[in-house]
Amino acid sequence: MKRVLPKQEFESWLAEFLPQLKDKNFKLEPGIVSDRTDGKLVHLDGVNFSRAWSLYEIAKDLPEYAHLKNTANAHINYSLPSIVGDSYEGGHWLGSFAIYALNTITRD
């Protein structure tokens, strides 16, 4: 929605759609992968990267959402080690999701 709506309209939409995101105490735990050789469970690492990417994008232009960077960092830090190793189930595609997430990190 951030890509298709003007900034003010996006802010209004986001405040209505997910009002809890504005709460500075908002928490969203990373998806936990209990078995990285399970081709279905490892998709949770991809979800973590996707969440991080989206949370960084929200926080990038909206200072009142800057606290979401911490949640995004937690998601990346949990799943980043899984992009290396000998497990084909995630190793062959998670790197691209990690790059998308890492490319959206903003520096203060």
Please check whether residue 18 lies inside any domain of the structure.
no
* Torsional sign, CA 35, 38, 41, 46: positive
The answer to whether residue 12 is domain-embedded is no
16 is a domain residue = no
Residue 104 confidence (pLDDT): 86
| Residue 49: predicted pLDDT | 95
pLDDT at residue 50, rounded to an integer: 95
Domain for residue 79, yes or no? yes
Average confidence (pLDDT) over 41-62: 94
Domain count, the chain: 1
The residue among 86, 89, 101 whose CA lies nearest residue 34 is 89
**What token pair was written down for 49?**
């990267």
Question: Is the pLDDT confidence value at 59 over 60?
Answer: yes
Share of the chain above pLDDT 70, in %: 91
pLDDT in tens, 38-49: 888 989 999 999
Q: What is the pLDDT of residue 97?
A: 85
Range of the structural domain that residue 105 is part of: 35-108
Question: Is position 7 within any domain?
Answer: no
Tell me the pLDDT tens digit for each residue of 1-31.
999 999 999 999 999 999 999 999 999 999 9
56 lies in some domain: yes
Structure tokens belonging to residue 93: 């595609």
C-beta of residue 106 within 8 angstroms of C-beta of residue 56? yes
* Within-domain flag for 17: no
pLDDT given at position 89: 67
Residue-wise pLDDT for 79-93, tens only, equals 998 887 666 666 677
Indicate yes or no: pTM above 0.85.
yes
**Is 108 within the bounds of a domain?**
yes
